[in-house]
Structure 1
Amino acid sequence: MMMGAFWASPVRNTLIAFGSLIFILIAAIAYGQLALNRWNVPFYDALSRRDVNAFLHQLLIFVGITGTLLVLNVTQTWLNQMFKLKLREGLARDVIGQWMMPGRAFRLSGAGEIGVNPDQRLHEDARHLAETTADLGIGLLQATIVLASFIGVLWALSSGFVFHVAGYNFTIPGYMVWAAIIYAASASWLTWIVGRKLVTINADRYAREADLRFSLMRVNEHIDAIALARGEADEKRRLDLDLDAVLISIRRIAYALTNLTWVIAGYGWFTIVAPILVAAPVYFSGGLTFGGLMMAVGAFTQVHTSLRWFVDNFGAIADWRATLLRVASFRQAVVRMDEMGALGRRIVTEENEDNRLTIDDLEIASTEGGMKLREAHVEVKPGEKVLIIGSPGTDKTLLFRALAGLWPWGAGRIGLPKGEEVVYMPRIPYFPPTSLREALAYPLDASRFSEDELKAALKRGGLDRLASSLGRVARWDRVLSEDEQQCLAFARLSLINPRWVVVDEALDGMEEDALDRVLDILRNYLQEAAIINIGRRLPHDHVFSRVLYLDKDEAGEKLELPGEG
Structure 2
Amino acid sequence: MAEQKPNRSTPTSVAGEVEAGLWAQLRVIGNIYWISPVRNRLILLILGVFAIIIVTSAGQVLLNRWNVPFYDALSRRDFSAFVDQLMVFFAIASVLLVLNVAQTWLNQMARLKLREGLTRDLVGEWLQPRRAFKLSNSGPIGVNPDQRLHEDARHLAEMSTDLGFGLLQASILLISFVGVLWTFSSGFVFNVAGYSFSIPGYMVWAAFLYAGIASWISWLVGRRLIHLNADRYQKESELRFSLMRVNEHIDAISLYRGEADENRRLGFDIDRLLGAIRLLVTALTQLTWVTSGYGWITIVAPILVAAPVYFAGNLSFGGLMAAIGAFNQVHDALKWFVNNFGAIADWRATLLRVTSFRQAVQATDLMNSVDQRIKFTETDSNQIVLESLKITAPRATVRLKEKKAIVKEGERVLITSEAGIDRTLLFRAIAGLWPWGAGTVSLPANTSILYMPRSPYFPPGSLRGAMSYPQGEEAFSDEQLVSALHELGLTRLESMLDFRARWDRELSDDEQQSLAFARLKLHEPSWVVIDEALDAMEPAAHERVMKVLRNHLAKSTVVHIGREDKDEKLFAKVLHFVSDPSGHGLENEGIEGV
* Superposed displacement of residue 251, structure 1: 2.1
Q: Residue deviations 1:272-305, cap 9 Å, x none?
A: 1110111112211211100110111001001111
* Superposed displacement of residue 473, structure 1: 0.9
Q: Distance in 1 between matches of 2:225 and 2:401?
A: 56
| Alignment-derived partner of residue 222 in structure 1 | 249
* Superposed displacement of residue 167, structure 1: 4.4
Tell me whether 130-139 or 15-24 shows the greater mean CA deviation.
Answer: 15-24
Alignment of 1:9-408 (within 5 A): 9-340=36-367, 343-408=370-435
Q: Distance in 2 between matches of 1:355 and 1:54?
A: 96
Matched residue of 2:576: which SS? strand
Q: Distance in 2 between matches of 1:142 and 1:344?
A: 53
1:229/1:311 Cα in 2 relative to 1: closer, same or farther (>3 Å)? same
Tell me whether 493-502 or 328-337 shows the greater mean CA deviation.
Answer: 328-337
Note if contact 1:341-1:408 (Cα within 8 Å) is conserved in structure 2: no
Q: Distance in 2 between matches of 1:562 and 1:122?
A: 25
Task: Tell me how large the CA RMSD over aligned residues is.
Answer: 1.6
Note if contact 1:356-1:418 (Cα within 8 Å) is conserved in structure 2: no
Larger relative contact order (Cα-Cα within 8 Å, sequence gap ≥ 6):
2
Are 1:497 and 2:554 matched, yes or no? no
The one-letter code sitting in structure 2 at the alignment partner of 1:495 is L
* Superposed displacement of residue 563, structure 1: 4.7
* Superposed displacement of residue 482, structure 1: 0.8
Are 1:472 and 2:489 matched, yes or no? no
| Alignment-derived partner of residue 452 in structure 1 | 479
Q: Distance in 2 between matches of 1:218 and 1:82?
A: 36
Q: Distance in 1 between matches of 2:82 and 2:503?
A: 75
Matched residue of 1:345: which SS? coil
Note if contact 2:397-2:579 (Cα within 8 Å) is conserved in structure 1: yes
Q: Residue deviations 1:180-215, cap 9 Å, x none?
A: 111111111221122122111111110110010000
* Superposed displacement of residue 261, structure 1: 1.4
Q: Residue deviations 1:190-249, cap 9 Å, x none?
A: 211221221111111101100100000000110111000000010011111111211222
Note if contact 1:176-1:279 (Cα within 8 Å) is conserved in structure 2: yes
Matched residue of 2:494: which SS? helix
Note if contact 1:163-1:282 (Cα within 8 Å) is conserved in structure 2: no
Q: Distance in 1 between matches of 2:365 and 2:194?
A: 77
The one-letter code sitting in structure 2 at the alignment partner of 1:250 is I
TM-score by length of 2: 0.92
Q: Residue deviations 1:430-451, cap 9 Å, x none?
A: 0111111111111111212111
* Superposed displacement of residue 355, structure 1: 2.3
Q: Distance in 2 between matches of 1:428 and 1:49?
A: 87
Q: Residue deviations 1:146-185, cap 9 Å, x none?
A: 1111111111111032323344443211110111111111
* Superposed displacement of residue 557, structure 1: 4.3
Q: Which runs of 5+ in 2 are unaligned?
A: 1-27
Note if contact 2:32-2:117 (Cα within 8 Å) is conserved in structure 1: no
TM-score by length of 1: 0.97
Q: Residue deviations 1:292-340, cap 9 Å, x none?
A: 1011100100111111111000010010111111111111111111124
1:419/1:430 Cα in 2 relative to 1: closer, same or farther (>3 Å)? same
Matched residue of 2:585: which SS? coil
The one-letter code sitting in structure 2 at the alignment partner of 1:196 is R
Tell me whether 251-260 or 474-483 shows the greater mean CA deviation.
Answer: 251-260
* Superposed displacement of residue 4, structure 1: 2.9
Note if contact 2:386-2:406 (Cα within 8 Å) is conserved in structure 1: yes
The one-letter code sitting in structure 1 at the alignment partner of 2:545 is V
Q: Residue deviations 1:518-544, cap 9 Å, x none?
A: 222212221111000001112541211
Q: Which runs of 5+ in 1 are unaligned?
A: none
| Alignment-derived partner of residue 583 in structure 2 | 556
Matched residue of 1:523: which SS? helix
Matched residue of 2:559: which SS? strand
Q: Distance in 1 between matches of 2:287 and 2:472?
A: 57
Note if contact 1:204-1:249 (Cα within 8 Å) is conserved in structure 2: yes
1:386/1:522 Cα in 2 relative to 1: closer, same or farther (>3 Å)? same
Matched residue of 2:461: which SS? coil
Q: Residue deviations 1:329-377, cap 9 Å, x none?
A: 1111111111245631332323321322222222222222222212222
Matched residue of 1:469: which SS? coil
The one-letter code sitting in structure 1 at the alignment partner of 2:375 is V
Are 1:422 and 2:449 matched, yes or no? yes
| Alignment-derived partner of residue 487 in structure 1 | 514
* Superposed displacement of residue 503, structure 1: 0.4
Q: Distance in 1 between matches of 2:279 and 2:441?
A: 53
The one-letter code sitting in structure 1 at the alignment partner of 2:132 is A
Note if contact 2:185-2:309 (Cα within 8 Å) is conserved in structure 1: no
Note if contact 2:369-2:591 (Cα within 8 Å) is conserved in structure 1: no
Q: Residue deviations 1:369-407, cap 9 Å, x none?
A: 222212222222222110001223432111111111111
Q: Residue deviations 1:27-79, cap 9 Å, x none?
A: 11111111111111111111111112211111121122111111111111111
| Alignment-derived partner of residue 7 in structure 1 | 34
Tell me whether 208-217 or 260-269 shows the greater mean CA deviation.
Answer: 260-269
Task: State, as a whole percentage, how many aligned pairs show the same letter.
Answer: 60
Are 1:438 and 2:438 matched, yes or no? no
The one-letter code sitting in structure 2 at the alignment partner of 1:8 is I
The one-letter code sitting in structure 2 at the alignment partner of 1:392 is A
Q: Residue deviations 1:100-148, cap 9 Å, x none?
A: 1111110111112111111001100111011111111111111111111
The one-letter code sitting in structure 2 at the alignment partner of 1:110 is N
Note if contact 1:393-1:552 (Cα within 8 Å) is conserved in structure 2: no
Matched residue of 1:273: which SS? helix
Q: Distance in 2 between matches of 1:36 and 1:281?
A: 24
The one-letter code sitting in structure 1 at the alignment partner of 2:315 is L
Matched residue of 1:503: which SS? strand
Note if contact 1:504-1:535 (Cα within 8 Å) is conserved in structure 2: yes
Q: Distance in 2 between matches of 1:328 and 1:269?
A: 38
1:563/1:153 Cα in 2 relative to 1: closer, same or farther (>3 Å)? farther
Aligned residues: 564
Note if contact 2:178-2:204 (Cα within 8 Å) is conserved in structure 1: yes
The one-letter code sitting in structure 2 at the alignment partner of 1:54 is A
1:474/1:418 Cα in 2 relative to 1: closer, same or farther (>3 Å)? same
The one-letter code sitting in structure 2 at the alignment partner of 1:125 is D
Q: Distance in 1 between matches of 2:159 and 2:357?
A: 18
